[in-house]
C-alpha cells in the first residue's frame, strides 16, 4: 500500500528565509508525487508533481521540490518565504491501482512571520 507522511504539523519561518516542508513516501514501484496548497476555507491548489525525470521539480509561486529516492523523500522548498505563503500544505502520492486516486498526508501548516 502507498502512503505519505508529513512529520511536522507546523512550520514557522521568518519572511525572506528559505523554507522546507517535509514529506516522506512509501510505495512499491515508481512513485507519482504531488504537492498541494490550501488557503483558509478554500479548495486545494496544485503546486507541482514528480512523475519521472529530474529530481528537482519546479512549480507554481516559486516553489520547488526535491525527489530523493534513497531517502524516500519529496520535500517542498522555497528560497525566500513570503507572508502570503502562509497556508496548509499537503503532500500526496498516487494510488498505483488505478483511477488516479491520491493518498494525502495529514498536512503541514506553514506560518511565515513578518
Q: Taking a C-beta distance cutoff of 8 angstroms, is the pair 10, 111 a contact?
A: yes
C-alpha cell at 113: 512571520
Nearer to another protein, 1 or 70 (CB): 1
**Considering only residues 7-26, where is the footprint of another protein by CB under 8 A?**
none
What is the per-residue DSSP string for 74-109? EEEEESS--GGG-EEEEEEEE-TTSTT-EEE---EE
Q: Taking a C-beta distance cutoff of 8 angstroms, is the pair 40, 55 a contact?
A: no
Among 1, 97, 99, 114, binds another protein (CB under 8 A): 99
Tell me how far, at minimum, the Cβ of 9 lies from another protein, in Å.
Answer: 9
Nearer to another protein, 18 or 39 (CB): 39
Round to whole Å and give the CA distance between 36 and 45: 5
| Residues linked to residue 111 through DSSP beta bridges, in sequence order | 12
97 binds another protein per the rule CB under 8 A: no
Nearer to another protein, 17 or 45 (CB): 45
**Considering only residues 26-85, where is the footprint of another protein by CB under 8 A?**
32, 34, 36, 40-46, 49, 51
* Residues that bind another protein in the complex, under the rule CB under 8 A: 32, 34, 36, 40-46, 49, 51, 88, 90, 94, 99-102, 104-107
Amino acid at each position: 500500500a502507498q502512503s505519505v507522511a508529513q512529520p511536522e504539523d507546523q512550520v514557522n519561518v521568518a519572511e525572506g528565509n528559505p523554507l522546507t516542508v517535509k514529506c516522506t513516501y512509501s510505495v512499491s514501484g515508481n512513485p507519482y508525487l504531488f504537492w498541494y496548497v490550501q488557503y483558509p476555507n478554500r479548495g486545494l491548489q496544485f503546486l507541482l508533481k514528480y512523475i519521472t525525470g529530474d529530481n528537482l521539480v519546479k512549480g507554481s509561486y516559486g516553489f520547488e521540490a526535491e525527489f530523493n529516492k534513497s531517502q524516500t523523500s519529496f520535500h517542498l522548498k522555497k528560497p525566500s518565504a513570503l507572508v502570503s505563503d502562509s497556508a496548509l500544505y499537503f503532500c500526496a502520492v498516487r494510488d498505483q491501482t488505478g483511477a488516479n486516486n491520491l493518498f494525502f498526508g495529514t498536512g503541514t501548516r506553514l506560518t511565515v512571520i513578518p
